[in-house]
Amino acid sequence: MDNQQSPKWYFKSWSLIISFLFIGPFMLPLVWTHPTFSKKTKIIISFVIIVSTYLLALIMVKSLKDN
């Protein structure tokens, strides 16, 4: 029997992308508990998520002020 198990469904790439699109920064625990990501990768992904969430929040506030 093979010792290598396939990763859980919530650690697969498609699952992380869908999580990012639908729950944004709330997916960060999945990133930080991912078994195969290096610390550098986790930091880069976290930075991208935080910056994109911040920019989307700014866009939302600006659109609400324009009305």
Model confidence pLDDT, tens digit, residues 10-37? 888 888 889 988 998 999 999 999 999 9
Tell whether 2 is covered by a domain. no
What pLDDT was estimated at residue 62?
Answer: 93
* Residue 4 domain flag: no
18 assigned to some structural domain: yes
Q: Is 14 inside a domain boundary?
A: yes
- Confidence (pLDDT) at 13: 85
Q: Which domain holds residue 61?
A: 9-66
Say if 21 falls within a structural domain: yes
Q: What is the pLDDT of residues 30-43, one digit of tens each?
A: 999 999 999 999 99
- pLDDT band per the 50, 70, 90 thresholds, residue 67: low
Is 3 domain-assigned? no
Q: How many domains does the chain have?
A: 1
Tokens of 62: 């600006």
CB 50 within 8 A of CB 61: no
- What pTM was estimated for this model as a whole? 0.79
